Amino acid sequence: MDEHDDSAEDIWSQWLLHGRDAGDAHYAQAMRALVDRYIDRVLQGAALKPGDTFADIGAGDGSLAFRAIQSAGGALHAWIVDLSAAMLRHARNRAEQLRIENHCTFLHTPAERLERIEDESLDAVTTRSVLAYVPDKTAALREFHRVLRPGGRISLAEPVFQDEAVAAQAMRTVIESNPPEAVSPLLRLMHRWKASQYPDTDEKIRASAIAGYSERDMVRFAQNAGFAEVHLELHIDTFPAIMRSWDVFVSSAPHPLAPPLRTIMAEQFSAEEREFFERSMRPVIEDPRAVSTERMLYLTARKSAQ
């Protein structure tokens, strides 16, 4: 494994292994079901065949690549690529437990620098919630294009966070455009919370890796990288909320770059504000009728055969 540092933990592994589900077994199970759905969709788009070699970029715990290998009876080889050395160690351990490590090559590198993978050596490239965090998405996609054989394909699943940033910006606008006495205390606290997790101005949104692009931009990025037959579907799904515990809600984070609400309240709310905010929001979170909204884009494309 090519590792650039020896840090035992980083923001990516901390979130994937701890912060996403806040250590709650019930919520972790519900999140696993969602992730499995994303994986199914990506693998469907990748259309892997026995004998293929592919790269799973930002592989995390390796779930996508390992499922593909097992489903193919071991007739695939996967490059397990991740920015996090800690997650690569975790993925390698899982591969050994599954006895499929001989079908994997582990590579510690960011998505936009795949130097160790030779030109035109792969049949497919997959991502799941990876490009959303890459500042130069076109550079990463150009690397995907470089390592693919003619006719090779990409299959990507990426969250779309722009609406969250726009909502935070709207709260800021209301607060700044009205006299202080006209703005509800709850709205001020809501904005403080959301602005700690998402950019809340035009300038910040444009500069943000996670919020500075839309699904239409992703199509353009893929075309600019040289891909053909680009197909993108934006899925906006609402379903009964899988988060029903206030303690889990404040302890989990919506993405690796965001602090959990518990940290925000501890650092930015007074004791009175924390009490008021929980009294106001806890019934909303624990309401059995609560609904979650999920925004994911799925993109497939091919490298021209010529």
**Per-residue pLDDT, 286:** 96
Query: pLDDT tens digits for 112-153?
Result: 999 999 999 999 999 999 999 999 999 999 999 999 999 999
**Per-residue pLDDT, 8:** 46
Number of CB atoms found within 10 A of residue 226's CB: 16
**Per-residue pLDDT, 3:** 40
CA distances from 114 to 90, 107, 111, 157, 284 (A): 20, 9, 7, 20, 45
Residues of the chain with pLDDT under 70: 1-9
**Per-residue pLDDT, 290:** 95
Q: Could you give the maximum distance between any two Cα atoms of the chain, in Å?
A: 67
Tokens of 190: 């809501």
Number of CB atoms found within 10 A of residue 98's CB: 14
Residues 6+ apart with CB under 8 A from 94: 61, 62, 66
**Per-residue pLDDT, 9:** 61
Q: What is the CA radius of gyration of the chain?
A: 21
CA distances from 100 to 71, 93, 104 (A): 12, 10, 7
**Per-residue pLDDT, 244:** 85
From CA 289, how far away is CA 130, in angstroms rounded? 31
